[in-house]
Structure 1
């Protein structure tokens, strides 16, 4: 397969491609808050991330979904979660489901353009069948885990081990996952034939809970008295060091200048686990900006920028067609939600996007917000917005911090039915002033837009847990083959 891919690339170079396709490094930070990177918050020690961000284009309005499975499917497929059955929470280890198999994924499109495709890190798009897993969805290699929220050292989640080298189950060696991933990334880069374009998808485990980090990184934040925030901040810095080691490997191979680097969070930070989105409102799981507006930048090959900010509206669904365009290809699929924003980003011209859906979730209770839509500078939230409605400053002093919640356990459909919140995000990006009573005409127009989108919505694919998934059936590993 590698020989064929190399020949395909050489054929493309000789007869089809007019310009050299860049290497693409797509980095995802899990549960990273808006306020958890140095380029937004100088209290964070992220020199490598900051250097990359300031060497390119900081994306000020790059949106994702409130939780991780929907975001990951968005940028892999180019489709909104409510059109994929993934609008309700995340895929759990015991659920016999995965992201729709009838959609072409980003690495499959890049392979058509001659790319070698590799993935390191967290999948979280389903694994009950081998067809659902990374090497069946376009990746030449996979090194990582299928689920979420596992231990950073043992790779155990819910009493099952979850770590793979391609399809092979791999025992943990006790090394911190950010270090393990950086080491494998360096190996892939060092072994790669630099004349062929490479796509390296690197969704880190960091900085999702559990809150775990080697002590030397925690000690870099000794001024923080809150135990969770101190450790969490250390996790961010450990990830930053891993990113620095990976970019250094690209430089050593003379590949760095030919590499396009995209960095994004998959959703907002989670204050209950010490992530922080201040001054944005809300948290992971909510459709407020704190749950959905990602810390993000793009830099490197094709991005002629330095310390610039792009305010154009982008959504996770746009990355699939945009990265394919950056690679020299195109997506001819009028049904796709994603828009090719490559030229707009390169030239800093206004975004093609004027609207997007934050989420549409009709299951009760809707754990990640019932419904929300952006149209121009206005944002409408309908019904339950998610569990965390407040503004949460970093817990740097307090030993304990009160986190205001709207627990779904006490969700009352009648309480939220028909409730609207309207915000002007140009004038009020932190969502303090609800304008719904002042502008009923705008509420009506945007409500009608939501109803129109609902015509395309498919029911949430959120089955009950299946006992056939039990890791004890597979030598203690979470393993495909039971659906």
Structure 2
């Protein structure tokens, strides 16, 4: 008390400020994590790969962060999302075949602890905005029961961007929720704008100096149906092909939405303690305006064009090395342990994912030397990567060619699919380091390499969990739920 009584007003103020600064250091929160997932974005559909694309916000983040040039995902939506949130390959969680369709009672099994649940154990506040696509037939399978404090978005894989209803005329239904409630307030609004606005609201509701935020934003964009406000399509008025022109406009609308989110993060004071991740969920569908040139194939194939994803990370303070292209091997299963590491936690040792934060943060060599593209016992196909070699078993998919950027009205993909029919080849072997566009099948040239990789593949198959792909259930019909796709039928 004597000391306090002898202090001047200025010195007392100085002491108070100093004590507050010490307190702030002691209470500094773990890094904020914003994970943005684009849907069906092609390799050649972003500005840092294709200068004809107008994506200034994404380009700025990518070019000032770390571009991940060997970041792999699954061929379609649901498998990638299951890997992202569990850290396991889809063939270990039963979601390796196709996607979860609206009437099928499949879901991500409850015995898996998801990334938001692990982050909540580390005192994160967790929010999801966008597309779920991991099952909804029971409330327990939906986002707010799987670790998210809030959810605004869609349960299914595709719907109208404005009406938020499925376009299937035989089973129409509305699919938009705010937490558990059907949410009609956004009917007529373009989904990218709705999702960005909700993300901004969440950003503004959290105090970045007191709470750690995990914000998961899996956009509907740029999945079909091809829809976008005209002003974005007009950016590409020089493109004659209607599907390509609309698709490119959708990419630019997505870019603006990301820009609105990052502006809010900056204004609210997150940037000094933030990691932002951007990735696609699979390659682009060439039959819906997307482009993966010069990679081979399309969405829903095991080719690089279906599985090598456009991705980057950005941080103002957390990365030791920035503004370069990282070519180290990375797989979507690695985000689970990597982000837990960023948050100060540690993943269970039995995950398929590997903590590659040192690789991302400092550019050190990746600990990953192999991965599984997918193993699908229903399709009877599979692919693995071991070092520079890639083995494909069975038919990789239906679009097996190389597809230049379309710029006319012709449906460019059909003829080329026929030209590049692979026939009945059982195995194909490629050196991805020397032949990233998969032109040269080396299966006959290197029989010993083929034998070694076949051995690896057979070992991987021994741990396969049968695909969870039940038949559709008529109880799912929205007519039983006031016209809405709703939980409660399984």
* Equivalent in 268, 271, 291 of residue 286 of structure 2: 271
Alignment of structure 1 residues 148-297 onto 2, 5 Å: 148-157=157-166, 158=168, 159-171=172-184, 172-194=186-208, 195-297=210-312
Q: 1:163 and 1:97 mapped to 2: Cα distance?
A: 19
Q: 1:307 and 1:68 mapped to 2: Cα distance?
A: 29
Alignment of structure 1 residues 62-73 onto 2, 5 Å: 62-73=71-82
The corresponding residue for 1:430 is: 437
CA root-mean-square deviation: 2.0
On the 8 A contact 1:57/1:309 being kept in 2, the answer is yes
5+ unaligned residues in a row in structure 2: which ranges? 1-21
The corresponding residue for 1:473 is: 480
Q: 2:113 and 2:38 mapped to 1: Cα distance?
A: 24
CA drift of 1:336 comes to: 1.0
What SS does structure 2 have at the residue aligned with 1:217? helix
Normalising to structure 2: TM-score of the pair?
Answer: 0.91
What SS does structure 1 have at the residue aligned with 2:373? strand
Q: 2:35 and 2:48 mapped to 1: Cα distance?
A: 18
Does 1:403 pair with 2:414? Answer: yes
5+ unaligned residues in a row in structure 1: which ranges? 1-12
On the 8 A contact 2:321/2:362 being kept in 1, the answer is no
* Equivalent in 307, 312, 320 of residue 304 of structure 1: 320
On the 8 A contact 1:55/1:305 being kept in 2, the answer is no
Q: 2:158 and 2:341 mapped to 1: Cα distance?
A: 33
On the 8 A contact 2:287/2:413 being kept in 1, the answer is no
What SS does structure 2 have at the residue aligned with 1:125? coil
What SS does structure 2 have at the residue aligned with 1:324? helix
Q: 2:488 and 2:247 mapped to 1: Cα distance?
A: 36
CA drift of 1:193 comes to: 1.9
On the 8 A contact 1:17/1:328 being kept in 2, the answer is no
Measured against aligned partners, the alpha-carbon deviations of 1:331-378 in whole angstroms (never above 9, x if no partner) come to 1x2221011111122121111110011111111x45xxx110000000
The corresponding residue for 1:316 is: 332
Q: 2:290 and 2:296 mapped to 1: Cα distance?
A: 13
Q: 1:191 and 1:383 mapped to 2: Cα distance?
A: 50
CA pair 320-18 structure 1, distance change in 2 beyond 3 A: farther
What SS does structure 2 have at the residue aligned with 1:160? coil
The corresponding residue for 1:328 is: 344
Q: 2:409 and 2:135 mapped to 1: Cα distance?
A: 39
What SS does structure 2 have at the residue aligned with 1:147? coil
CA pair 433-19 structure 1, distance change in 2 beyond 3 A: farther
Alignment of structure 1 residues 328-347 onto 2, 5 Å: 328-331=344-347, 333-347=348-362
Q: 2:53 and 2:271 mapped to 1: Cα distance?
A: 25
* Equivalent in 103, 108, 124 of residue 117 of structure 2: 108
Normalising to structure 1: TM-score of the pair?
Answer: 0.92
What SS does structure 2 have at the residue aligned with 1:445? helix
Q: 2:27 and 2:233 mapped to 1: Cα distance?
A: 49
CA drift of 1:190 comes to: 0.9
Q: 1:392 and 1:465 mapped to 2: Cα distance?
A: 34
The corresponding residue for 2:96 is: 87
Measured against aligned partners, the alpha-carbon deviations of 1:2-50 in whole angstroms (never above 9, x if no partner) come to xxxxxxxxxxx99x99974111110000000000000100000000000
Does 1:383 pair with 2:398? Answer: no
CA drift of 1:403 comes to: 2.9
What SS does structure 1 have at the residue aligned with 2:40? coil
What SS does structure 1 have at the residue aligned with 2:62? helix
CA drift of 1:399 comes to: 4.0
CA drift of 1:419 comes to: 1.2
Q: 2:364 and 2:322 mapped to 1: Cα distance?
A: 16
Q: 1:477 and 1:240 mapped to 2: Cα distance?
A: 30
The corresponding residue for 2:403 is: 392
CA pair 330-147 structure 1, distance change in 2 beyond 3 A: same
CA drift of 1:304 comes to: 3.0
CA drift of 1:406 comes to: 6.6
CA drift of 1:100 comes to: 1.3
On the 8 A contact 1:127/1:480 being kept in 2, the answer is yes
Q: 2:131 and 2:396 mapped to 1: Cα distance?
A: 27
Q: 2:449 and 2:414 mapped to 1: Cα distance?
A: 32
Q: 2:321 and 2:482 mapped to 1: Cα distance?
A: 51
* Aligned residues between the structures: 460
On the 8 A contact 2:29/2:211 being kept in 1, the answer is no
The structure whose Rg is larger is 2
Measured against aligned partners, the alpha-carbon deviations of 1:121-155 in whole angstroms (never above 9, x if no partner) come to 00000001111100000000000000011000001
On the 8 A contact 2:173/2:484 being kept in 1, the answer is yes
